[in-house]
Amino acid sequence: MPNFVCLAYHRITAEAMAQADPYTVTPVALEAQLGWLARRGYRGVSISQALAGSGYKRPVALAFDDGCRDFYTDAWPLLRRYGFNATLFLLAGRIGQAADWPEARGVPLLSWAEVRELAAQGVEVAVH
């Protein structure tokens, strides 16, 4: 079994309410983390790539849970800037709706069109 680290995120937002969630970071913090990884020779990969043995010397699997739209608007552009990939875990029955759980109530979730676009660009899509 390949050896790798996995970093997991819920949301990428500066909203104060979301900051109580330890798996939520601001876009500025995510960019700082990705830059730190890149400068040290890490490569952001999907979970499947990591499990298959990505071929990179220092892979780090990046996982984003719940399918909030901020992955599309804030996280994915940063990941692309650094040449990183990720796994996006969706709540299949909630695509195109809004979150209804306390930590993200009312937050828009990805649409099917956005999911298809992300998948076509190489994001690994999985069910949460």
User: Which residues have CB under 8 Å from 30's CB, separation 6+?
Assistant: 9, 12, 74, 75, 78
Q: Which pLDDT score is estimated for 1?
A: 66
Q: Which pLDDT score is estimated for 128?
A: 82
- Which residues of the chain have a pLDDT value below 50? none
Q: Which pLDDT score is estimated for 77?
A: 97
Q: What is the DSSP letter of 109?
A: B
Q: Which pLDDT score is estimated for 15?
A: 74
Q: Which pLDDT score is estimated for 3?
A: 82
Which residues is 42 bridged to in the sheet?
none
Reported as a single tens digit per residue, the pLDDT across 34-49 is 999 999 999 999 999 9
Handedness of CA 66, 68, 71, 72 (dihedral sign): positive
